[in-house]
Structure 1
């Protein structure tokens, strides 16, 4: 081997060692960076004219376990979706309260029962009648407030859907551009690993909103689809649409066309509003808006209907005629079985017993339609109202015979049970996500291994430098001859 060949080999070895040190240092510095794929440098023996010519530096390889990443992304979607559901049901539970909890709807019904008993003991007491009126107002106000809160939660869910659709569209456009950049880098001989890291992070963001599968395409590009088969990106990113509603009432649903669903190219994606995009936070937000909160409102309306019907019975208050509103009313009217939706938001105390509205407290004792005060010691109506409230009867929404407080408590318990169900699913999803995240991290950068590699690189660099030093000595000797 000539001195010039030896010099060339040593120089190529030093260059390769320098490039490897650069790759290793990148691995170590990004050992805690999300989305970073460990790099290695391809080296091969260089051959020129059938003779060894040092080392040839090849491409940089990016190492990730795409199977684990795919499963982790699905776990991301599930985890994020159940977090949304648990959070929402927790807020609903705060609004309606828990059975036996002070301030809950069932406890306010119990308060009315207690006030009726107190008033029946001394029906001549204006203080006790006033307390009964206050307890009734507290009960109806709590139902009104709960309805308003639930509809506000639906507005929040609707706004969240709009925000997520915007983020989804932006992220898909970013992946489309990164696909082009990766292809361009490969064609230019530039390492695209950094672009692929960035693309992985953007896809991870998408995976929280909508579960995705990543498919390879030519030129280092990828396509994205949902597990259900909806294509999000394949060359060109799809653009989804959604129109948010600033105000939502109890009667507004997808079916009534009062609420918007997701559109694609201006056309509805599906009848349920979300189609094959469910599974992540986007699907959870639709479930919150169109299922869970609607169910909660139905439960409130059933409680309100039960209360109104108990006091609207002419056998309880003989002063009433059939079809007339009783002690509790639907927005000033009698109960209408065809107008049940949103009833809890309209329920109120009959103006005939409210002095602030021109009524008289004595009508609590004498009857809604009493024109003049009756005997002050007559507790018949108060006892009848108390019995009606505590009597186990069936309702239109629930054929099981229950007292008013028990029916409200069952509704509160069902709300809490749904939250617990979602929490159980969340716990499972979290455990699965944690396991997959650990498996993904295990395949990432091992700093101990990288430092060992750095020592080997240092040794290789020193050896090549020693070759150069030896060649320099030989050249000096030749120059001295």
Structure 2
């Protein structure tokens, strides 16, 4: 072997070792970087006529597991959506009160019923009459608080949609820019491993916003497609998605009810965006929270009308009006959002004796309550007819003997009549309140349980992906020892070649 050949082998070896050290240092520096995968720099022996001529250093690549990455991406989307849903439902759960502590809706109904029972023993007792009014006021305020919390959470997700759509646009733009740089790098024959790791990090951020599939392309880019087939744009110039936020009042709805959808270059694509933070926000805004509001409105409607049907208009809005179903557009048309306005009838607040005497004459009906005449002015102080009617029928499951109280509506609910809720099949006020509260609490608990499981699965998938494609410090340290040995061997060859060249020069001179 000539000295030139030996020199070429040693220098190519040192160049390869330098490239390996650079890759190794990159791996070690990013061992904790999310989305980073281990990079490797391939090497190949070069021979000519069976004689070694050195080593060729290849283009740095990275470890990948496309299937596992896709599974992790889907789980990140699922966990992100459940996190958003949990926050909204827990806020509502927090104002439902604690069963048995007297501050929950069923307990408030029970307190009102108990106050009537106490009044029945002494109908003329003004303190007990006021106690009934106070108990009714407490029940109305509890309903108001729950309704207000639902509206607050709905407005919160409406506002968050605007922030999430901005993040969606910026993340897609970042992915598009990385796509172009990766394509250019592959065309130039340079390593794109670092850029691909950056893109993986951006794709995981995108997974937290919306569900999609990343389809690798031959040129090195990725195409992003939702489950419905919508291609997510990755252009770098300008925002592709747009969203116009609004006021998420109980009467508001999407579409055509004051709330906007998400548009892609002017075309509504709301239904195509599912999963992640955006999907959860849309479901909460358009289904989950309006349904909870509708159930609460249904309870409030029944509460007010059951009292009025027996001759006591105890619950109204601030103007003293009862909720009335107009029968057009949906079951609840005419009283959507009534739970936010329900209060004790101002007339009764001004004259608590009306809880004994009654406010309204009832003609009677074979399908509803029986006839009733209020206690006239100057009538018996011990008048108990109304109180008995309230206790026997308003709080009971019959409007009169043999006539069942109607159960709350469970279909055609909400401002546009397109919502439905589980039918509890109960007809007493206490039963309806219990079904409502337990349903909302169970919904919140289920989401929390699902989120715990989702986070656990995400963590397991992340660990599995990291063990498959992540950086192993022990392995990197082992490589470093091997490279140090190889460096020493190549350095000794160079030293020997240098010595021999010097000796040749001395002989020549």
| TM-score, structure 2 normalization | 0.85
Q: Is the 8 Å Cα contact of residues 99 and 412 (structure 1) preserved in structure 2?
A: no
SS in structure 2 opposite 1:95? coil
> Which residue, 278, 283, 290 being the options, matches 1:294?
290
> Which residue, 387, 390, 400 being the options, matches 2:392?
387
Counterpart residue number, 1:337 = 325
- Is 2:246 aligned against 1:242? no
Counterpart residue number, 1:407 = 432
Deviation at 1:459, TM superposition (A): 0.5
Q: Is the 8 Å Cα contact of residues 216 and 223 (structure 2) preserved in structure 1?
A: yes
Q: Is the 8 Å Cα contact of residues 97 and 412 (structure 1) preserved in structure 2?
A: no
Q: Distance in 1 between matches of 2:426 and 2:3?
A: 103
- Is 2:278 aligned against 1:282? yes
Counterpart residue number, 2:315 = 328
Against the structure 1 CA distance between its residues 373 and 75, is the aligned structure 2 distance closer, same or farther, given a 3 Å change threshold? Answer: farther
- Please, what is the CA RMSD of the aligned residues? 2.3
Counterpart residue number, 2:478 = 452
Deviation at 1:257, TM superposition (A): 3.0
Pairs within 5 Å for 1:140-289: 140-233=140-233, 239-245=240-246, 247-269=247-269, 274-289=270-285
Q: Distance in 2 between matches of 1:150 and 1:102?
A: 21
Deviation at 1:221, TM superposition (A): 1.6
Which of structure 1's runs of 4+ aligned residues deviate more than 4 A? 47-52, 234-238
SS in structure 2 opposite 1:164? helix
- Is 2:475 aligned against 1:463? no
> Which residue, 378, 384, 409 being the options, matches 2:383?
378
Post-superposition CA distance 1:373-422 (Å, at most 9, x none): 54333333233323334212333526834321121011111112222332
SS in structure 1 opposite 2:56? strand
Which range moved further: 464-473 or 120-129?
Answer: 120-129
Deviation at 1:434, TM superposition (A): 2.5
Unaligned runs of 5+ in 1: 321-325
Q: Distance in 2 between matches of 1:207 and 1:373?
A: 72
Deviation at 1:141, TM superposition (A): 1.6
Deviation at 1:219, TM superposition (A): 3.2
Pairs within 5 Å for 1:464-479: 464-479=490-505
Against the structure 1 CA distance between its residues 377 and 389, is the aligned structure 2 distance closer, same or farther, given a 3 Å change threshold? Answer: same
Counterpart residue number, 1:360 = 351
Deviation at 1:68, TM superposition (A): 0.6
- Is 2:123 aligned against 1:136? no
Unaligned runs of 5+ in 2: 327-333, 361-374, 398-404, 410-422
Counterpart residue number, 2:346 = 351
Post-superposition CA distance 1:360-380 (Å, at most 9, x none): 122222222667454333333
Q: By percentage of residues, which structure has more helix?
A: 1
Q: Distance in 1 between matches of 2:378 and 2:505?
A: 132
Q: Distance in 2 between matches of 1:478 and 1:353?
A: 119
Q: Distance in 1 between matches of 2:473 and 2:261?
A: 48
SS in structure 1 opposite 2:94? helix
Q: Is the 8 Å Cα contact of residues 98 and 412 (structure 1) preserved in structure 2?
A: no
Between Structure 1 and Structure 2, how many residues are aligned? 463
| TM-score, structure 1 normalization | 0.90
SS in structure 2 opposite 1:33? coil
SS in structure 1 opposite 2:223? strand
Q: Distance in 2 between matches of 1:450 and 1:47?
A: 28
Q: Distance in 2 between matches of 1:181 and 1:475?
A: 46
Q: Distance in 1 between matches of 2:472 and 2:179?
A: 28
Post-superposition CA distance 1:187-246 (Å, at most 9, x none): 44443222211111111111111112112224322111123321103677881111111x
Counterpart residue number, 1:433 = 458
Counterpart residue number, 1:416 = 441
Deviation at 1:455, TM superposition (A): 0.7
Q: Distance in 2 between matches of 1:27 and 1:265?
A: 41
Which range moved further: 398-407 or 233-242?
Answer: 233-242
SS in structure 2 opposite 1:219? coil
Deviation at 1:432, TM superposition (A): 2.8
Q: Is the 8 Å Cα contact of residues 117 and 386 (structure 1) preserved in structure 2?
A: yes
Post-superposition CA distance 1:402-461 (Å, at most 9, x none): 321121011111112222332343344233322211210111111111111111111100
Deviation at 1:140, TM superposition (A): 1.1
Which range moved further: 334-343 or 392-401?
Answer: 392-401
